[in-house]
Structure 1
Amino acid sequence: MTDFSLLKQLCQVHAPSGNEVAMKDFLLEYVEAHQSQWKVQPEIIHGKAFQDCLILKFGTPRTAIYAHMDSIGFTVRYHDQLVPIGGPKAETGYQLVGEDKLGPIECELIENEGDLHYKFPRAIQRGTELVFKCDFRETEDYVQSCYMDNRLGVFNALKVAETLTDGLIVFSCWEEHGGGSVAYLARYMAEELGVMQALISDITWVTEGVVHGDGVAISMRDRSIPRRSFVNKIIEIAEDSGIPFQLEVEGAGGSDGKELQSAPYPFDWCFVGAPEDNVHSPDEIVHKADIASMIQLYSVLMEKL
């Protein structure tokens, strides 16, 4: 049975788009503490040229796993106003947390016909980021919390890392608010490492065609359309593996795959992720069976691709 204590820790890290440094530091500490137990100890690549992103290089990589570290949230504007980071669901009563120079903050979100405000005994310093307060819940079949998108994608990458022999794990920034880091990550991946294919370890939606409990979703398209021959190869490997999976076809939504496809290199990519309900809210929920199949399928794909 999977231990979700690491996922709970990840969901509690303050890392809204543009301020992912706490997540990077958490991941560096985690890798340093646990890599001795992994099958292969990775080369850890980071520094000024990568801003707050992080790359783990295992053996001789052929394929990269992309997992974005950032979350949605809110930025304090003027007076008691809030500006969204990415596309968070906003309802009066949601609890938000953060910290400014005056101390820690736990306040209430107020939504009024599209205008967003906070309720707190004092003024919060402008520019302060607020995120959903984490209330991590686990039942026999489900895990539920804010920021399953994409702390579950990060969790998946770290679990796959335990047995990975050849591959890259790329932890990116800004995905929820328009992207921007993948361009230079892709350049490094292509020019320095010669890796031209990627799996997007992110979380998708429960819809009328993708449901809880039927396995990880292989996305044949969203707003972007990956190269069909690469997607077909992934589907064929999944079918041969016997691991439960679902096929997703959507006309909206996006991921780090969109930036890879826009890069001036012949990248192949495919979004492979567990489906969640209550998207971009404090109550995102994912079925444990779908998490298990996600980890299993990624391990097989990284071996076979």
Structure 2
Amino acid sequence: MKLLKQLCQIHAPSGNEKNMTDFLLNYIETHKVQWKVQPVIVNNEDFQDCILLVFGEPRAAVFAHMDSIGFTVRYGKQLVPIGGPATKTGYTLTGADSQGEITCTLKYDEEEGELSYDYHREIDRGTELVFACDFRETDETVQSCYIDNRLGVWAALRLAETLENGIIAFSCWEEHGGGSVAYLAKYIYEHYHVRQALIADITWVTEGVQPGKGVVISMRDSLIPRRSYVQKIINIAKESGVPYQLEVEGAGGSDAKELQKAAYPWDWCFVGAPEDNVHTPDEIVNKKDIDSMVKLYQVLMEKL
């Protein structure tokens, strides 16, 4: 879990993913020699901070978003949320501005519905603050801020080790409305005619989805994917013997939103481990679900 811990510690809220991009490019350059197939790496101004890895003759693409939730400093000591972070008074936040490194405390006024920070000075407006990383590992679980979606990124990197044919897309802005998958999907479809997608992201523990019971295949969230494609994923999972769970939700979304609304015939399915304490500094995932997530992605990318 050393790599996952490193990923969770990187400051990369929506809109400022460059630190994560630089880390991933360095990691890929260092480790790709050990991978089964050497990918084509696509990262240029047309892709902003996103990265595409193209392996062999791709038939499907995996999308994993690099960004996290957080807060933007407004005026005085006001904060504006990035995405949908938990807002409990007392959470430790970190960041940096023109005067140096920052460690401060989140304050939430329930009566006024206002967010602010407690710090000995005023922080530069526009500074992004994120949850301080306290990475905890036991024999059964890992717990930290930003398991969503650093675990999805981690799983994609593990997949890259053995992937022969396929595309891995590391995207931006997912937690705050998206915006990058639209042009990634356009490029992938037009250059490789790939239109099958898997969304490597993290979902919720609920009354119907339990930790330790396997990776989750989502049949729907706030959007509804094409049933025949989801059934294809489920059938492959059944035959694989990898533990999995089925999810049905009426809320939530992912990078799939932009695939669903694209002017291209993309099929998509969300496949990811379930976590508890969603969007807090204490997100927790069972290691059995992490293991089954990696194994199922390996099978799916071979069979699709």
Q: TM-score by structure 2 length?
A: 0.99
Give the corresponding residue for 1:293.
292
User: What SS does structure 2 have at the residue aligned with 1:192?
Assistant: helix
Matched residue type, 1:241: S
- Pairing 1:108-257 to 2, within 5 Å after superposition: 108-113=105-110, 114-257=113-256
- Indicate the SS of the match to 2:192: coil
Shift of 1:192: 1.1
Output one character per residue of 1:13-66: Cα deviation in whole Å (capped at 9) or x when no partner.
000000001100000000000000000111100111001100000001100000
Separation of aligned partners in 1, 2:230 and 2:23: 33
Name the CA distance, whole Å, in 2 between partners of 1:28 and 1:235: 33
How far residue 69 of structure 1 moved from its aligned partner, in angstroms, is 0.3
Q: 2:261 and 2:189 mapped to 1: Cα distance? A: 13
CA deviations over 1:53-109 (Å, ceiling 9, x no partner): 000000011000000000000000000000000000011110000000110000000
1:6 corresponds to which residue? 3
The whole-number CA distance in structure 1 between the counterparts of 2:33 and 2:303 is 24
Match of 1:106? Answer: 103
**2:33 — aligned with what?**
36
Q: CA deviation at 1:253?
A: 0.2
Is 1:272 the equivalent of 2:271? yes
- CA–CA separation in structure 2 for the residues paired with 1:178 and 1:215: 28
Q: Which runs of 5+ in 1 are unaligned?
A: none
Offset of residue 199 of structure 1: 0.2
Give distance in 2, aligned partners of 1:163 and 1:186.
23
Amino acid at match of 1:200: I
C-alpha RMSD over aligned residues:
0.4
Amino acid at match of 2:173: W
> Is 1:22 aligned with 2:5?
no
The one-character-per-residue Cα deviations of 1:176-211 (angstroms, maximum 9, x if unpaired) are 000011110010011111110110000000000000
Residue 80 (str. 1) matches residue 77 (str. 2) = yes
Query: How many angstroms apart in 1 are the aligned matches of 2:232 and 2:86?
Result: 36
Per the alignment, residue 51 of structure 2 pairs with 54
Identical amino acids, percent of aligned pairs: 70
- Amino acid in structure 1 at the alignment position of 2:270: F
Where structure 2 has 5 or more consecutive residues not aligned to the other structure, the ranges are none
Tell me which residue corresponds to 1:284.
283
Please list every run of at least 4 consecutive aligned residues from structure 1 whose deviation after the TM superposition is greater than 4 angstroms. none
Residue type of the alignment partner of 2:91: Y
Distance, in Å, in 1 between the alignment partners of 2:140 and 2:303 is 30
- Read off the aligned partner of 1:15 and give its amino acid letter: A
Q: Within 5 Å, give how 1:59-70 maps onto structure 2.
A: 59-70=56-67
Counterpart for residue 68 of structure 2: 71
Q: Output one character per residue of 1:259-293: Cα deviation in whole Å (capped at 9) or x when no partner.
A: 10100000000000000000000000000000000
Distance (Å, rounded) in 2 between the aligned partners of 1:276 and 1:44 = 31
Letter in 2 for 1:26: F
- Partner Cα distance (2:182, 2:159) in 1: 24
Cα deviation, residue 258, structure 1: 1.2
**CA shift at 1:241, angstroms?**
0.4
After superposition, give the CA deviation of every residue in 1:154-196 in whole Å (9 maximum; x if it has no partner): 0000000000000000000000000011110010011111110
